[in-house]
Structure formats: structure tokens, C-alpha cells
């Protein structure tokens, strides 16, 4: 991986601007994410564990070592540390209420082959995917006999490892998770809480880069790519939407984060007529949409 | 504005909770134990009660039991907020009628999340 300074990095507080540019350049090259000014201040803090574990004095020493040697493991640690892995269960309750009350029932009514495919793209430590799995499990009578596939992907190997473990801190489980769901679907694990095997087995967690996409091919009924695109340039966002379009069918629903939109970024998606804040594929006439959907299923 | 009654024998906890709750646009009243809380609920039912477990005079669980037979204009939502973090305690609280459960220590995001779940904000 060639390391080049990021021209966007104007200032990083007390840290060396040169080193900060090199490290932000690494992040952008590996993930497409831009370390914006409002995230730059935390670079040194975020990298402290990496500096400690590799015996480096400061980010200048880190940048020098990255340039001097090709160390994949060190690059991986830096990227994992700089990625924003903030996530919570049922983040934006209204969205999950809409998924539960409107989107999933509509998919249930439409899919004659009794197959439900959901993709959480940029899933971080997995809370979004677990939240949907909890919703489905709480409504198991509806979904009995269905083939349910939940794919959850993220570029961070550390985040995916944590997601797969199903282990969450006390603080994690208190953010968004109702107490009824906590005692029903989680077990104490020391000071932490562990998701039940039922939930963990429902979700296929994979490391995957949205720009070098290797997750299983196919089309998904519900795609969630929330609070991911805000870190990308316009060109990168357009590329992500093209890729998401390839994995959706005429009746798929795409959900983005608050403040994210397809408008001005995608020819493939338009605001969904039924789901406020959701997006659907741009299609022709209703008959054409129906035909495309039938082909897809 | 909706009102939250903070019930805790710790002045520090009440102060921290008040600071967070007021920042979430709730009005806040305080009680130092379950008996004090029950009196206040009967006088003017709050929308939500943030309830400690271990308190002198009347504990959180005793308050919850007494509340079920109290004459109230409306039953407030009950959020336990306690250091009793064992799953047995959590289940007991839910069975006794608690709507939500916060394990101390807590922060603004946690309280905001729980208040949203019970429909207060």
C-alpha cells in the first residue's frame, strides 16, 4: 500500500501535521473514508493503544515506521483504530419501528418464496444486525418456515471480530436495547453481556470493503447502509450506490442514516413511495417493476 | 414539559440525573426515598420515575409495590436506576412492574435511550 499524505489534512492540533497527513492518507487509501477536521482532533487519542502495543513514542514514529517498512499488521491496527465504530442497538428508534411495522410485513406479504434477505452494510460492531435479528425473533410466529439470511459487513476486522463474539459492555446494552430484550436475548458474561446463540447464528458477519466488494452476490430485500456514506467523497458515494443497486431488486428497500440521501448521488434509487426516509430502486412503469421483481425472486 | 421524579438517597446521583434530564427538556423533582416518592406521586403524578433500589425508609421495590395500590391520576413510567446489576434483580424489577432498567454508572445517552423506549421523549 503506497502511503501518500492527504491534502485535506490542514491541522491536527498538537500532533505532527506531516504524520497526521500520512495516517489519514492510509485510512483513505484503505477504506475510502476521509478523516474530516471534526474527527482529526482525536487521532492521537485513537492511536494511543496502537502506539503502546507497537512500542512507538508518538504518531511521528508511527508514520516513519509505516513508510520505512511494509507491515500489514501495523497498517491494519492503524486503520481499525481510526475508523469510527460508533454504533448502538435500535439506533434511531423510529427507523426500527418502521422496519417492524411496515417494511418487514410488506416483504412478508410479497415474497412468495418465503425467503428474507437483509444486508447491514457498514455494520460496525453489529448492533444494527442484532437489532433486526431481535425484531425477527420477537415476531417468530410470522417468520416460521421462512429462510432468513442476515449479512452484516464492515471493513474493520476488529469490529467484525467483536460483532461475531456477541459480547457487549454494560454501557453498550443500555443504549437502545429494551430491558425485556436484554433479559430475553442476552446472558451475563462477567461484567459484559453476550448475545444468545440463536441471535449469533442468524447473522453472517464478514469483513468486506464496499469498494472491493467480495460479500456473497445476490439481491437483498432490505439494505441498511446507515451513517457510513457521510465519510466518503461524492465519487465514492456514487460508487457505493451503484454497488448497492447491483444487490437490490425492484422492491428492495434501502435505508440510510439521518442526514444521508441518494438525491444528487444516485441514478438508481429514489425516495420510496411507502416508507418515509427509505429508498427504492428507480423503475419504469408498475408493470415493469412487477416483472423485474418476479425475475429477481 | 414532562416531569421526571428522581428518587435516590444520594444527593450526587440526584444532581447528576437532574442535570441530564433538564438537558433533555424534562422538568425534574426529587425524592430521597420511596416514602417521599409515593407522597409526591399521590400529590401530582409525574410522567416518569427514575428509581433507585436501595434506600432507607422505603426501598425502590417497596415503592413499586405500594404504587400499585396508590390512588393516582395516571401511572408513571418506572425506570429503575441502580447498582444492582445482576440478571436476577433485573428480572425481579420487570416482574414487579418496572418499565425499564438502568444499571449504574449511566450517562446521558443511556438515560436518553431509556426515556425514548418508554415513550417519555
- Chain A interface with B: residues with Cβ < 8 Å: 88, 93, 170-171, 174-176, 178-180, 182-183, 187-188
Helix (H, G, I), strand (E, B) or coil at A45: helix
DSSP codes of every residue in A104-142: HHHHHHH-TT-EEEEEEET-TTSHHHHHHHHHHHHTHHH
Hunting for cell 429494551 — which residue is that?
A178
Residue of B nearest to A91 (CA): B113
- Tens digits of per-residue pLDDT, A40-63? 778 888 999 999 999 999 999 999
Residue of A nearest to B108 (CA): A175
Domain around B48: 3-117
Question: Contact at 8 Å (CB) between A132 and A120?
Answer: yes
Greatest Cα-to-Cα distance within chain B, rounded to the nearest angstrom: 35
Query: Of A29, A60, A82, which closes a domain?
Result: A82
Dist. CA A185–CA A138, nearest whole Å: 10
- Tens digits of per-residue pLDDT, B56-65? 999 999 999 9
Same domain, A165 and A243: yes
Same domain, A285 and A243: yes
Best mutation target among A86, A179, A180, A181 (most B Cβ atoms within 10 Å) is A179
What are the C-alpha distances in Å from B33 to residues A6, A280, B51, B82? Answer: 58, 53, 9, 13
The answer to whether residue A88 is domain-embedded is no
Same domain, A278 and A138: yes
Same domain, A156 and A180: yes
Same domain, A132 and A213: yes
Best mutation target among B82, B103, B118 (most A Cβ atoms within 10 Å) is B103
Domain of A149, CATH number, reads 3.40.50.150
pLDDT value at residue A16: 74
- Structural domains of chain A, count: 2
Dist. CA A157–CA A34, nearest whole Å: 19
Same domain, A284 and A230: yes
- A39 or A117, which is more confident: A117
The answer to whether residue A2 is domain-embedded is no
Same domain, A64 and A178: no
pLDDT value at residue B5: 98
Count Cβ atoms within 10 A of the Cβ of residue A209 and give its class: 0-12 exposed, 13-18 middle, 19 or more buried.
Answer: middle
Residue of B nearest to A185 (CA): B87
Domain around A276: 93-296
Question: Contact at 8 Å (CB) between A187 and B91?
Answer: no
The answer to whether residue A276 is domain-embedded is yes
- What pLDDT band is residue A216 in, cutting at 50, 70 and 90? confident
Same domain, A78 and A115: no
Task: Decide if pLDDT at B95 tops 90.
Answer: yes
The answer to whether residue A9 is domain-embedded is no
Same domain, A211 and A234: yes
What are the C-alpha distances in Å from A152 to residues A10, A11, A121? Answer: 35, 35, 6
pTM: 0.89
Helix (H, G, I), strand (E, B) or coil at A12: coil
**ipTM associated with this complex:** 0.94
Mean pLDDT of A221-247: 94
Domain of B111, CATH number, reads 3.40.50.2300
Task: Decide if pLDDT at A286 tops 70.
Answer: no
Mean pLDDT of B15-25: 97
Q: Using only the alpha carbons of chain A, give its radius of gyration.
A: 20
Percent of residues, chain A, with pLDDT higher than 70: 89
- Tens digits of per-residue pLDDT, B57-92? 999 999 999 999 998 989 999 999 999 999 999 999
Same domain, A283 and A184: yes
Same domain, A97 and A74: no
Same domain, A66 and A202: no
The answer to whether residue A4 is domain-embedded is no
Task: Decide if pLDDT at A5 tops 60.
Answer: no
Dist. CA B62–CA A15, nearest whole Å: 55
- Structural domains of chain B, count: 1
Amino acid at each position: 500500500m503506497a502511503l501518500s499524505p492527504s491534502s485535506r489534512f490542514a491541522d491536527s492540533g498538537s500532533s505532527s501535521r506531516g504524520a497526521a497527513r500520512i495516517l489519514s492518507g492510509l485510512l483513505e487509501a484503505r477504506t475510502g473514508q476521509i478523516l474530516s477536521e471534526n474527527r482529526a482532533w482525536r487521532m492521537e487519542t485513537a492511536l494511543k493503544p496502537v502506539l503502546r502495543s507497537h512500542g512507538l513514542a508518538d504518531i511521528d514514529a508511527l508514520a516513519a515506521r509505516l513508510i520505512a517498512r511494509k507491515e500489514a499488521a501495523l497498517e491494519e491496527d492503524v486503520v481499525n483504530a481510526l475508523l469510527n465504530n460508533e454504533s448502538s442497538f435500535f439506533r434511531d428508534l423510529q427507523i426500527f419501528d418502521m422496519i417492524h411495522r411496515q417494511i418487514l410485513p410488506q416483504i412478508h406479504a410479497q415474497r412468495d418464496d418465503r425467503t428474507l434477505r437483509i444486508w447491514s452494510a457498514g455494520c460496525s460492531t453489529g448492533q444494527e444486525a442484532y437489532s433486526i435479528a431481535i425484531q425477527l425473533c420477537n415476531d417468530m410466529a410470522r417468520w416460521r418456515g421462512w429462510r432468513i439470511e442476515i449479512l452484516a459487513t464492515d471493513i474493520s476486522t476488529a469490529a467484525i471480530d467483536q460483532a461475531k463474539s456477541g459480547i457487549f459492555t454494560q454501557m453498550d446494552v443500555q443504549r437502545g436495547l429494551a430491558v425485556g430484550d436484554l433479559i430475553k436475548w442476552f446472558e451475563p458474561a462477567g461484567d459484559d453481556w453476550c448475545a444468545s446463540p440463536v441471535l449469533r447464528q442468524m447473522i453472517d458477519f464478514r469483513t468486506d470493503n464496499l469498494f472491493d466488494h467480495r460479500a456473497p452476490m445476490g439481491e437483498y430485500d432490505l439494505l441498511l447502509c446507515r451513517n457510513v456514506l457521510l465519510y466518503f467523497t461524492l465519487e465514492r458515494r456514487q460508487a457505493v450506490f451503484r454497488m448497492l443497486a447491483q444487490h437490490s431488486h425492484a422492491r428492495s428497500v434501502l435505508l440510510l442514516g439521518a442526514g444521508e440521501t441518494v438525491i444528487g448521488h444516485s441514478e438508481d434509487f429514489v425516495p420510496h413511495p411507502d416508507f418515509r426516509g427509505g429508498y427504492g430502486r428507480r423503475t419504469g412503469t408498475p408493470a415493469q417493476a412487477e416483472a423485474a421483481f418476479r425475475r429477481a425472486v | 414539559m414532562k416531569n421526571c421524579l428522581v428518587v435516590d438517597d444520594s444527593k450526587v446521583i440526584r444532581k447528576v440525573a437532574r442535570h441530564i434530564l433538564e438537558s433533555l427538556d424534562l422538568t425534574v423533582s426529587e425524592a430521597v426515598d420511596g416514602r417521599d416518592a409515593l407522597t409526591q406521586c399521590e400529590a401530582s403524578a409525574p410522567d416518569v420515575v427514575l428509581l433507585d433500589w436501595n434506600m432507607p425508609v422505603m426501598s425502590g421495590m417497596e415503592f413499586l409495590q405500594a404504587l400499585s395500590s396508590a390512588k393516582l391520576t395516571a401511572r408513571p413510567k418506572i425506570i429503575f436506576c441502580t447498582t444492582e446489576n445482576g440478571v436476577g434483580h433485573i428480572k425481579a424489577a420487570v416482574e414487579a412492574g418496572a418499565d425499564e432498567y438502568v444499571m449504574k454508572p449511566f450517562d446521558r445517552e443511556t438515560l436518553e435511550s431509556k426515556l425514548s423506549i418508554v415513550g417519555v421523549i
